[in-house]
Amino acid sequence: MAKTATKHRFLRACKRQKSNTPVWFMRQAGRYMEVYRKLREKHTLLELCRDPELACEVTMQPIRRFDLDAAIIFSDILLPLEPLGVPFEFAKGEGPVIARPLRTKEDVDRLRAFDPREELGYVHEAIRLTVRALEGRVPLIGFCGAPFTLASYMIEGGSSRNYLHAKRMMYHQPETWNKLMETVSGVLAAHLEAQVEAGAEALQVFDSWVGALSPEDYREFVLPHSRAVLARARATGVPVIHFGTGTAGTLELLKEAGGDVIGVDWRIPLDEAWRRLGNDVGVQGNLDSVLLMAPAELLRKRVLDVLQRAGGRPGHIFNLGHGILPETPPESLDVVIETVRAFKP
Ligand code: CP3
């Protein structure tokens, strides 16, 4: 990677260089867009993910429609599960369902550490196609789930309220837990490296479930594994965004685990988060996704509030505090983008 100034606002902000505030949206491809729903009538989600041409097409849909500063490859954090030996499906209205969740040492011993270049090669091929299709307009972000979020999906078998099974494994079978986390981490790190080799210019690690953990449990059972993945991600030379939700109690620890930019959710004021994180990291966020359902006037006001809290400091990437919801009116994204573009700190 060249150390010289890059022309893209998004990459400049990742490196905390001066730039106008970049904006993109987590889950910017998806059901809130009519063109996506049309394609989904003909293909399942997994078909879209596994066909590089379709994945490229879906990645490009929001780029054609909105004035965005980054694309994110259309894929899913759960794709590594099947090659690990943990098949799942997306059940209608329920989200992911894993038929045989991991509970015992034997379950974990059966996991198959695989080579993502082979088993997830379709994601890397989709990245190659998308980089070509983007023609340098905006950088492409590659991603994966964080070890905790993926491991707890595999143990819980789907969404969870108390993470009882995952925490039970941590507390009662720490060796089994650590083995699971190490196996997952190795696969994730190699998957991120392959995404950069394929042309991703930035990476994001999604720890969507990390808010379930106390700071003590995060430090003891999770941080070392996240750190290992983030260190290998950063060694590729591209900027890395480390995102979690419900992290008001663990923000400093997330930073300790690594990342050039920390993604924060909407439950904490952005300036407070940044004060705690310090000036040596960028911050991504953090508008509540549900505000996209509010009248334009209120939406504008809340976007401005986030921007003012960032205060034009180098290193702010405007985003939501979590993914776009399917009910979102697309015009709301235009309102957000126009407000970000017009902002003068
Ligand atoms: O951001 C993007 O545009 C890229 C695409 C993307 C998807 N999943 C596609 C998808 C990304 C970045 C993800 C990440 C992901 N997947 C996360 C982390 C981010 C977050 O929201 O916390 C998680 C937890 C998952 C797991 C997952 N995938 C769930 C829980 C669900 C079902 C929930 C739902 O919205 O139905 C999915 C399905 C999924 N992945 C969809 C999309 C667009 C919904 C698609 C559909 O049915 O067409």
- For residue 19, what is the domain's CATH number? 3.20.20.210
- Which helix (H) or strand (E) element contains residue 282? strand 282-287
pLDDT-derived band at 91 (thresholds 50, 70, 90) equals confident
Is pLDDT at 204 greater than 90 in this prediction? Answer: yes
Distance 345 CA to ligand 1 centre (A): 33
Q: Is 122 a catalytic residue?
A: no
Say how far apart CA 284 and CA 23 lie, in whole Å. 9
pLDDT in tens, 30-51: 999 999 999 999 999 999 999 9
Mean pLDDT for 69-90 is 97
Which tokens in the block code for residue 151?
């491991």
pLDDT of res. 7: 83
- pLDDT at position 3: 42
Nearest to 75 by CA among 52, 98, 42: 52
Distances (CA, A) of 156 to 99, 100, 109, 168, 241: 10, 10, 17, 11, 26
Q: What was the pLDDT predicted at 318?
A: 98
Task: State how many domains the chain has.
Answer: 1
Catalytic site includes residue 27: yes
Mutate to test the pocket of ligand 1, among 43, 90, 140 (most ligand atoms within 8 A of CB): 90
Asked if pLDDT for residue 95 goes beyond 90, the answer is no
What's the mean pLDDT in 84-107? 92
330 lines ligand 1 (CB under 6 A): no
CB 299 within 8 A of CB 292: yes
pTM over 0.75: yes
24 lines ligand 1 (CB under 6 A): no
Whose alpha carbon is nearest atom 36 of ligand 1? Answer: 95
Give the 3-state DSSP-derived string for 178-198, with helices as H, strands as E and coil as C: HHHHHHHHHHHHHHHHHHHHC
Is the shortest distance between the CB of 28 and ligand 1 below 6 Å? yes
pLDDT of 198: 98
Average model confidence (pLDDT) for the chain?
96
CA of 76 to the centre of ligand 1 (A): 6
- Please tell me if the CB atom of residue 177 comes closer than 6 angstroms to any atom of ligand 1: no
The CA distance from 257 to 159, in Å, is 24
* 231-276 pLDDT per residue, tens: 999 999 999 999 999 999 999 999 999 999 999 999 999 999 999 9
Q: How far is the CA of 146 from the centre of ligand 1 (A)?
A: 14
User: If pLDDT is split at 50, 70 and 90, which confidence band does 2 have?
Assistant: very low
Q: Is 153 one of the annotated active-site residues of the chain?
A: yes
Q: Is the dihedral of CA 93, 331, 265, 69 positive or negative?
A: positive
List, for residues 126-173, the tens digit of each pLDDT value.
999 999 999 999 999 999 999 999 999 999 999 889 999 999 999 999
**Which position among 9, 16, 27, 309 bears the catalytic label?**
27
Establish whether 31 is a catalytic residue. yes
Is 219 among the residues known to form the active site? no
The CA-atom distances, in angstroms, between 109 and each of 100, 169, 188, 226, 252 are: 14, 14, 18, 21, 33
Best mutation site among 77, 88, 245 for ligand 1, i.e. most ligand atoms within 8 A of its Cβ?
A: 77
CA–CA gap between residue 312 and residue 307 (Å, rounded): 7
Check 51, 65, 76, 217 and give the catalytic one.
76
Domain that holds residue 104: 2-342
Where residue 5 falls among pLDDT bands split at 50, 70, 90?
low
Query: Residue 1 — pLDDT band, cuts 50, 70, 90?
Result: very low
Model pLDDT, residue 94 = 78
Ligand 1 centroid from CA 27, angstroms: 7
